[in-house]
Structure 1
């Protein structure tokens, strides 16, 4: 009997008419919240909430949980505003009871909107972009959360919109959230991940260095603080040693390793995208034991060299200008490795055999539980060997069921395996869920970095 009721209800849902009037409460609640932001002079917030209301009307499934989150936040905003308004009126001995009733009505409207969005009455309305709707909403919300926290925790305008158009920072945050869910949807499949990852990685690097170039040309607001720093990854570790402080990039690097392990080196590094681009100009990569030995020895040597020289320069009291020249020389050597060796081998030699932070990422990234694993039923076809530009796969590693130390969780091998024997793993999650969760985190970090990362 229960099954019959379920089938009848399902048929009614499919054959029934859409009822867009159900959107009136959530759209009204979002616009009221936007009007409150407009009253406070936050034009970006008002525009963002209006756009979110438009996405609800456009029937985007991923916008539904986003709107729920916005209205939950709105409830706290209205409650706090109510307390503040009443306290203000009481302080000046003004009548406040009618205000309390009005604000209570606004809060009830917010609650009604939440009930409507969480109910089943709108299930059929949100029929667009249903595939991966929850991960897409998660990418949007994580991006927004990361940017809001960054904006709140620094004492200078970290977003370009706040620098050039004060009051519009929220709109940049909203648009970056939309960007995150969009590229995440394209990375839903392993093939999509392989195609999109190098493009958005290159985009991030291009935006990063374009801002640096514009800053050097005199547009100071394009720089993080107006103080120039060398964009050489080795200085993430060597810089604080020389300066005796300034641990922001080191902390950021460490936090990224906790979230996505060594994926910094395949999704987020502003220089790594260059090595990736150079390697793609060469032949298909082939496993190399010589380069694999340099994965530990070569990068270990450059790590000791970078940190040791930085410490020595500090002890000797060498001026900062001289240290900058040495850092620039180290960076130029790395670029030479990319242009001549990575391109010639079709492999990311700079990242896997030269970059000291690549080694740090590979070693400390193991703190994070994300892994690439190869099933025991692997056919041994070797298709993944020529996809791996990090020299992490060969017959021996396949037999062990895991890639070598230089693996950065790029995911190219996952798309190469026609038999589905390679995949992301995370304790307690299926492979498909683990891959989806990893994409959510990696894409969200990419979008946040795109919004705030500059010299």
Structure 2
């Protein structure tokens, strides 16, 4: 006689499907949907077509089963209630100033505010959580990524007074809000993939390649004469080492260096495995052939450190000596071409990222600054030394000796490929020495948000 199996709760398993809800039982969705549409009408009235369209799109997300969409829509409706209070106060003050009646206006604005709050509350109930069951275990993290990415891009859009950062605004003024929404939705989707061990390795690699494609695609269009796709309208060599070497040579232009440093402090050496526009090339080359990754000789990583010292010292020396810019540009171009040759002929053959782990000077800086960041990769006592992580590490950071030591080598970029293949959960991303699913979620939220922001503004 077989033992009956316990039925699983579909709200706990993101892969489960639930029967469709009847139209009558889903009628409560009208409250948050109309709340968002009323907000859209408010912004349309004041000529903000872009934001109005985004809010209508958010209302459309209410008809999906996405857990993160429920949270985001609830937060927007809650924030919208404060907008109605502010607008109500302003309208009442205007009416009072001209001696017109204002009590009915207070009642109307108060009702709209209450309607918005009611919609926010309805989306926060357990009933709503059951309906929006997809990716429920990662919904909060995906919502956080959506808000951080959209907030970061909004700040980027608002800060410069003499430069339009978002490409959509350059073609259609005001449409940058729509671009922000699209990137934020993409970021939320990507966050879910990066939090799933079954998909995180491929998702990181393809998302990284997508970022590099967008970056260099815009550069190619700029070279063809479409200067709208360039950040400043002037061209620079897209070589990562110049992020440090450029300011050393010029004695100015520290923006990219500051951006790089802040990014590394936030997510550690993950800059090299998620955000570097050149590193994605090395990653692609290392995946051309199937099979286990190769191993570099013990002296190879030390060469990268020596090379970094030589490159940065040469940049500083040429700047102090007054070497012509053209000479410096040629030297940088030759260095960059050598790096590309290493990717094409060495990384591809060895099935590992030789350029990033044994050549790139900026990688050394990322690893060094990463020691200041609180993020670490460690191997717990649960490690069985099965070497599954050794077979997938493309940064020459994990060897049987490093497993015995309990930590990867200096070249580790926190790509987390090892955590995806470790069946025992021994490979852990730690924050201030602590490891837990929440720590992993925080890390993925930060790195995905930065990826999305870079996708929107990173151009030459």
TM-score by length of 2: 0.89
Mapped to 1, the partners of 2:185 and 2:436 lie a distance apart of: 26
Aligned residue number for residue 120 of structure 1:
126
Deviation at 1:80, TM superposition (A): 3.4
The structure carrying a bigger helix percent of its residues is: 1
**Residues 190 and 411 of structure 1 are in contact (CA less than 8 Å); yes or no, is this contact kept in structure 2?**
no
SS at match of 2:237: coil
Mapped to 1, the partners of 2:233 and 2:106 lie a distance apart of: 47
Query: Structure 1 residue 250 and structure 2 residue 269: aligned?
Result: no
Query: Structure 1 residue 298 and structure 2 residue 306: aligned?
Result: no
Mapped to 2, the partners of 1:82 and 1:397 lie a distance apart of: 63
Mapped to 2, the partners of 1:91 and 1:230 lie a distance apart of: 59
Among residues 110, 113, 116, which one is paired with 1:110 in the alignment? 116
**Structure 1, residues 5-43: CA drift from partner, whole Å, max 9, x if none?**
xxxxxxxxx999773232222212211111122223222
Mapped to 2, the partners of 1:75 and 1:215 lie a distance apart of: 44
Out of 317-326 and 205-214, give the one that drifted further.
Answer: 317-326
Query: Structure 1 residue 424 and structure 2 residue 424: aligned?
Result: no
Aligned residue number for residue 222 of structure 1:
229
**Structure 1, residues 240-269: CA drift from partner, whole Å, max 9, x if none?**
122222211111111111221100101110
**Structure 1, residues 397-455: CA drift from partner, whole Å, max 9, x if none?**
10011100100011111222233321222247543222222222222221221111111
**Residues 31 and 118 of structure 2 are in contact (CA less than 8 Å); yes or no, is this contact kept in structure 1?**
yes
Aligned residue number for residue 43 of structure 1:
49
Query: Structure 1 residue 238 and structure 2 residue 261: aligned?
Result: no
**Residues 279 and 346 of structure 1 are in contact (CA less than 8 Å); yes or no, is this contact kept in structure 2?**
yes
Deviation at 1:98, TM superposition (A): 4.6
Mapped to 1, the partners of 2:200 and 2:172 lie a distance apart of: 34
Mapped to 1, the partners of 2:339 and 2:65 lie a distance apart of: 49
**Structure 1, residues 50-102: CA drift from partner, whole Å, max 9, x if none?**
11111112232211110122123323333333344445556666665554443
Mapped to 2, the partners of 1:68 and 1:15 lie a distance apart of: 22
**Structure 1, residues 112-134: CA drift from partner, whole Å, max 9, x if none?**
22222223343333234434222
Aligned residue number for residue 16 of structure 2:
none
Aligned residue number for residue 364 of structure 1:
369
Query: Structure 1 residue 137 and structure 2 residue 151: aligned?
Result: no
**Residues 382 and 425 of structure 2 are in contact (CA less than 8 Å); yes or no, is this contact kept in structure 1?**
no
Aligned residue number for residue 407 of structure 1:
412
**Residues 382 and 424 of structure 2 are in contact (CA less than 8 Å); yes or no, is this contact kept in structure 1?**
no
Residues paired across the two proteins, number = 439
Mapped to 2, the partners of 1:326 and 1:358 lie a distance apart of: 19
Mapped to 2, the partners of 1:398 and 1:451 lie a distance apart of: 38
Aligned residue number for residue 28 of structure 2:
22
Deviation at 1:170, TM superposition (A): 1.2
SS at match of 2:392: coil
Query: Structure 1 residue 69 and structure 2 residue 81: aligned?
Result: no
Mapped to 2, the partners of 1:49 and 1:144 lie a distance apart of: 13
Among residues 268, 275, 281, which one is paired with 2:282 in the alignment? 275
Could you tell me which runs of 5 or more consecutive residues in structure 2 were left unpaired when the two chains were aligned. Answer: 1-18
Mapped to 2, the partners of 1:446 and 1:225 lie a distance apart of: 21
SS at match of 1:425: strand
Mapped to 2, the partners of 1:15 and 1:59 lie a distance apart of: 10
**Residues 357 and 396 of structure 2 are in contact (CA less than 8 Å); yes or no, is this contact kept in structure 1?**
yes
Deviation at 1:353, TM superposition (A): 1.2
Aligned residue number for residue 62 of structure 2:
56
**Structure 1, residues 337-375: CA drift from partner, whole Å, max 9, x if none?**
211222222221111111111011111112222221112
Name the CA shift for 1:47/1:309 in 2 (closer, same or farther; >3 Å). same
Mapped to 1, the partners of 2:86 and 2:311 lie a distance apart of: 51
**Residues 22 and 122 of structure 1 are in contact (CA less than 8 Å); yes or no, is this contact kept in structure 2?**
no
Aligned residue number for residue 7 of structure 1:
none
CA RMSD in angstroms comes to: 2.3
Mapped to 2, the partners of 1:175 and 1:252 lie a distance apart of: 23
Query: Structure 1 residue 210 and structure 2 residue 217: aligned?
Result: yes
SS at match of 1:386: helix
Deviation at 1:388, TM superposition (A): 0.7
